[in-house]
Amino acid sequence: MLLTTWQIIKLIIWGIILINEIAALYTVFREKRDIAATWAWLLVLTLIPVLGFILYAFLGRKLPQDKMERIQSQTELELRAALEEQKKQFLDMPRPKKQTMRMYRRTIMLFQSIDNAFLTRHNQVDIYTDGQRLFQKMFDDLSNAQKSIHIEFYTIYNDRIGNQLRTLLEQKAAEGVEVRVLYDSWGSMGVKRSFYDALRQNGGLAEPFLMTHSNLFDFRLNYRDHRKIVTIDGKIGYVGGFNVGDQYLGRLPKFGYWRDTHLRVIGGGVYSLQQRFIRDWNASQRHVQDKIIHYRPYFPPITVKQGNTALQIVSNGPESPLEKIKLGYLRLINAAQDHIWIQTPYLIPDDSVLDALRIAIHSGVDVRIMIPCKPDHPFVYRATQYYARQLANEGATIYFYQNGFLHAKTMVVDGKMASVGSANLDFRSFKLNFEINAFMYDHHITDQLEQIFVNDIRNCKVMTPEMFAAQPVWLRFKQTFSRLFSPIL
């Protein structure tokens, strides 16, 4: 019996569908990943044949094993023995009588256990929320550097502020100061390696994170170095949400004023930032002569108490199965008795964080979340709106920041503990990106962060459940649709 042309076409179509489904199953399950990401990628590969596989080739595959091993194999440097002694002291310490001290102790022990995060007690911490003020202070500190400058940013653009930084670094390298720059090739897209030629000629060094020189041929775009670290002479450190680019100073009409949060640290906390930079730098160098071998000069003795802020620097990355910063966020949320105030540009929590926030809300904790009123990534922003709507329906207070773009990543709990850093409240920061946050135990710092939050409310619009419900059907559909891809956004 001869088949008609239409029957042959149908057989071909069903054959293509079958081959696509088999290929999708094989592609997704050949690498171990969590179930949410597995289903999300199956959805992409099934709904978007061919193009879905191209997207997976760039965004879905995991880091090469050799790169994972380079990151994991870096030593804990000079702080290892001191950290073990500090852990022992906390384990042997009598149970604190005050609830606040018990909260501190358990949180500190968590980070010691999962990230070997050293607790430093006497730091001076200054908060910056404006790019102009931040970079003016940072450039002043860089100008006064005597021995070493270590810089690690997701984004360093070839624009006005980027060139000002590069020129300053070239001058310091010419003066004999050791200058090392680590940047993410995707976040700094458009900046060629030759951008740093003059710096290298003056004795400085600049390399992309994990030696990724080409974005076009880097088929693992998902795994980005999102950290922002500056250390100067091992004495002054910066960490937070700002990158280096004109848009972060409010110079791009698309975003308007850029509202972010960054910290300047003096004290033992700089040791942890220095340690993290050295590990990232060494993991990104193929040649032994370019690695930092002798650590001690980068950790100068601290002879004077600089301030009163106790803090731990916690880093996170796909090389570890533990989502360390997420666990820290969960610890803070679960410890809250009175209020949790959060600022994040991307609100795409996984089920564990979403449930923790729900529990807090229904336990009577004042949960406030501030997000931008405008997108920088459409799919991500629609998913953020979806989760904002869900949490508003649960009882959280949702603020849409109106005065430009909100990029701050902060969490303040009960006026007692706080986190500021590079990690957003989303899947990407929890699982895919290399991130770094400062977790602080000081009511003076939390008071400042809470006052900043209150000041920001003046530039916000409160989004009630009724206002979300009144949004156009098409907008709510886009939010719900985008949410399906949350684990891979």
Active site residues: 226, 228, 233, 407, 409, 414
3-class DSSP assignment, residue 56: helix
**Cβ proximity of 311 and 125 under 8 Å:** yes
Planar angle of CA 224, 225, 230, nearest 5 degrees? 160
**Cβ proximity of 386 and 357 under 8 Å:** no
| End-to-end CA, the chain | 50
Find the farthest-apart pair of alpha carbons in the chain and give their distance in angstroms, rounded. Answer: 93
Strand partners, 181: 151, 206
How many angstroms separate the CA atoms of 395 and 401, rounded? Answer: 19
The type of residue at 195 is F
Encoded tokens for 416: 């007692």
b/e 388-408 (16+ beta carbons within 10 angstroms → b):
bbbbbebbbbbbbbeebbbbb
The residue among 210, 228, 234, 74 whose CA lies nearest residue 152 is 228
How many angstroms separate the CA atoms of 304 and 311, rounded? Answer: 17
Encoded tokens for 137: 């202070």
How many angstroms separate the CA atoms of 67 and 396, rounded? Answer: 41
DSSP state of 9: H
Number of H helices, E strands in the chain: 17, 19
Q: What is the DSSP string of 452-484?
A: HHHHHHTTEEEE-HHHHHTS-HHHHHHHHHHHT
Angle between helices 65-72 and 269-283 (to 10 degrees): 150
How many angstroms separate the CA atoms of 134 and 244, rounded? Answer: 11
